[in-house]
Structure 1
């Protein structure tokens, strides 16, 4: 507290000195120097007039008039200093130097100087001496907190940590407190730092998780846990950046797969990094390679399937046309390979509802396998919920981020929170009401939500969305199918036949949905539209 008042007194003195400076100074050297400079300029102008007259550029009358004007300006600055400058005397010596010395008024001369300057001088002096410090003190007493005890920075950090711990579940809080005690006794315990980072991740304290996991890495945590640690460090860094994967984070994931080429978390996020970088083919290749090694009941299987479907849909790339590739293979420079004809990703049911895009079959398979939001481990659940919360917060600050709203809808779908998924997809559609990809994403969300609730038919709203999609993208496969289905249900068989025929013309015959759509087309009545 004493230090604070000393600082306040010091700044008050500096401010008062700055305000008193005009009263304390005399005419100073500036006046003399300025007058000498002006006279030098005017003397040069007189010499220039004589030279112009000698070269015939000016007449006698013009030269005389010019001299009169310059001489008038000389008289305007005439005075003792100006007279000396005009006669060539050095203004920096003799009487001028004495004048400058006399101009440096001592502090004891302050009151006489203020009196010489009249009422304004006295008023200024009174304001500086009394009003400024007293007024500042009064203002501080009113709006400040003079009786508030000091709070050193270290104590504030400790208080914040205690408050954060108090909000955690008791079991998790006890685990973190135990690990902190271990680290206090043995600061170089890499294993304890690793476990502390994982505990902070479960508590959604991603910044602290990054610090702990980075310490574990720097301490040389080795063995089978090192690739896991690197992947979790990269994931925590991504979550602290609201879902963005920076190049530094991507390198952590690469380091993880270089140690363990099968590390699933790192492989998934390397695909996400490619998608964020605008490389959908690379993302699909990485994810399809991971999907081939992912058990159907793996906690991340549904998220992987939806990511493949979403990226393929947004980029207009059937995922089955992209050959799987390991991230390290692509990192070595091998290009992503595409196939001419799509390959079946697995057994399909010929009687299943037709799906014009390759991702829809994956989503249908996933829906039959488990309920969205179920089956996640604690770490996976914390990971997804942390991503959702960070993304939702960022979108509140930047509601025009269409891609962000689509990612948020996808994340809510993974958690089985369908009302929120539909709401996020609708926010995306509000920002891009004519974007076929956005409208298709909203329709997909509506249909997936309806299937999750046990509905056998697409919601009626879906058909209107695909009508709009068809207006802007006449060859969109999903729009051709669902608008044709709506026409068939309404009895407009001519339109249904036209749309489905157009769709089949653009589908390979070995596409799983081809045969089902062909059967529906053949089953249409031979007559034209009926009402």
Structure 2
């Protein structure tokens, strides 16, 4: 009620200003002859003042008085002949003023009803934060998020690749305590588009490893759940992200998805701050940097922050080792052709790292690829070399150790 009283008083004040301006304009209006009479009378007084100061002589003063008096008589006669127009214009002015007042008040109310939110309380900062917290606490869980997603057609996979995945599933089922087997299954289930099965396998990896589960394990588990829910960060994914960040505050993927969760629950200010820090921390070639760069300016605008995206800095070249897409594409080849292709990519990546060096992600990829090929001795040697190369870099070593465990060469 207080809001409507204030709005009504403001509208009345605006209307009163308009009426006052119109009435003042009306009161200042008059016939031209009346204005001429005032000017001529002023001229007569000016002649008397000039005569008193000795500026003009008596004869000149008399001639000027006679001419001005003649003009006064003519102007007075014209004023008497002009009709009195004071009634009608004043009535029109009043009607116009009242009409404008009604339009201002009624228009303000109608505009607010169309664009505003009648009856809705003021959304102060504290209220908005409370609403965001309530939305975060009451949002759907993982199962509900997946249930409301439309059914997607299965991915087209080569029969040979599907047979390999089926074999891996049966092998893992017979070895329930094999963490590496479940980790490989999670990767291939994800490659197949079966994200619920992928994050279930990853959950088993974390369960088996217990206290030895790495930040990367938890971040990957959360990422698989988020992919299963088409980008939505559920409470279950949030808990996995929190576990990753508790173990490593600098985990890039976990920080990216934590920012996404904050944006989804009405806290773009926190999302922007997390993403901006993550973007500065880099590395610029990390896979989570590109999505941050693509969204951070919009997030800054939502947070009310004046922000300009810095230019991309040159990072390490794109990884040359085999990734999940390469492995899926290799499904169309014969077994020998797949092995030759993978070995060629691995050799090129190994040669480049030996000669030019590279990021921790590239070293981790090389270790993982060698593990897939079954070259455990070579993977173990690369693992030892990577440990020396990144000695003292906790985040890089964690990434390398995670790849070594997946490859089965970690001590």
What TM-score comes out, normalization by structure 1 length? Answer: 0.29
Which structure exhibits the higher relative contact order, with contacts defined as CA atoms closer than 8 Å and separated by 6 or more residues?
2
What TM-score comes out, normalization by structure 2 length? Answer: 0.37
The answer to which structure has the higher helix fraction is 2
